[in-house]
Structure formats: C-alpha cells, structure tokens
Amino acid sequence: MSQSAPAPAVITAPRPAGAYAPGGPTAAELLGFVRRAAADRELIASLPRDPEGRTWLRLDGPRGSEAWLIGWPPGTGTGWHDHAESLGAFATAEGQLTEHSLAVRLPASGWKTLELNEGVDRRRRLSAGRARAFGRHHVHEVLNESPTDHAVSVHAYYPPLPLMRRFSRSGAVLRLEQVERPEDWQ
C-alpha cells in the first residue's frame, strides 16, 4: 500500500453507534479502499481460512466506514440481502466471486413479499483484482461457486451498517425473511 493510503488495521472492539464522520467517504473512495486492501498480500494472508465456513476480520475503513476481510470456502454464499441506507464496495483478492443482484430499488419498509418484474436480474463475476461499488438499498447475493478454490474479498460500507435485510427468493417472488442488526454479527 502507498503511504498516502494507510493500511487497513483490524479493529478489536465494535465501533460505537454514531461514531462515523459526517459526510463520510463516497462510493468511489470505498472502491479505492477495497482495491488497495485486496492488493495487500500481507493483509490477505492474515485471514484465517476454514474449509467449511466463511471467516472474517473487521478492518478500519476510510473516514469512519465499516470494512471486512472475508474468506469464502468453495460453495459458500451470503444469500439474498441488502445493506439498508449504506453505500458499499467490494473487491475480490483471491479466487472468483459471483454476484447476483437486482436492478430495482425495493421499498424501504411496509412489505413482506414482492413479485419482481422480468429483466431485473444481473450477474457479475469478479475474479481476483476486480471490484465494484453499489448504492443504497442494493439487493444482492455473493457466492463462491468454485467446487475447489477458496476466495477472499474485502468489503466496505458507509455509513456503518445499521441493519441488513435478508430475503428468500423463489422465481420472481422475493420475500423478506429477517432483519439483522450489528449486535447480531458480533
């Protein structure tokens, strides 16, 4: 990493609610951070690997953002979810990840089941070195579809995630299943 961009550091305690910079980083700044962190071979090597479940380390993201280094064993994924009002970005450091996303903005509340229109599905493959940013209310799932290779990625969000909504999907029907809060991830 260059000296102008400090190396990510592992946070040992959760960030207190409201402890982020007003205005915060843009999606482009988050994207730059995840790209630099994904290229940091020492950081990537520090992640413990589990052959059966995802592993993660919390990182110190830019200007009060929340960031994570995540390991993906073969065949693992997130399931459908969003990041509420947070902007985000992620970069693949090792292996390849697949992102399925919806090109539609869902209502923030007041629904349990939605029927999606045709043509809203998007699919991206992000091999090592590839990254993407996304806006608020972005609904997606991220998968390591490899039957043999572990993947590693870096993710950043601003403001720090206030909640995540988890969804199930059957064809065109998207169903809100659960709302998770930061205390559920500690």
- The SS3 of residue 121 is strand
How does residue 8 score in pLDDT terms, banded at 50, 70 and 90?
Answer: very low
Cα 17 from Cα 64, distance rounded (Å): 11
How does residue 126 score in pLDDT terms, banded at 50, 70 and 90?
Answer: very high
pLDDT for 80-109, tens place per residue? 999 888 999 999 999 999 999 999 888 877
Fold of 27-103+123-161: Jelly Rolls (2.60.120)
Cα 18 from Cα 109, distance rounded (Å): 22
Neighbours of 51 (CB within 10 A): 8
pLDDT for 40-83, tens place per residue? 999 999 999 999 999 999 999 999 999 999 999 999 999 999 98
Contact 163, 85 (CB under 8 A): no
Torsion sign (Cα): 49, 102, 88, 185:
negative
How does residue 118 score in pLDDT terms, banded at 50, 70 and 90?
Answer: very high
> What's the pLDDT at 117?
93
How does residue 19 score in pLDDT terms, banded at 50, 70 and 90?
Answer: very low
- CA dist 115 → 20, 24, 107, 138, 171 (Å): 36, 34, 12, 17, 9
Cα within 13 Å of Cα(134), Cβ side = 29
Of 143, 141, 139, 142, the residue nearest 84 (C-alpha): 139
**Residue extents of the structural domains in the chain:** 27-103+123-161
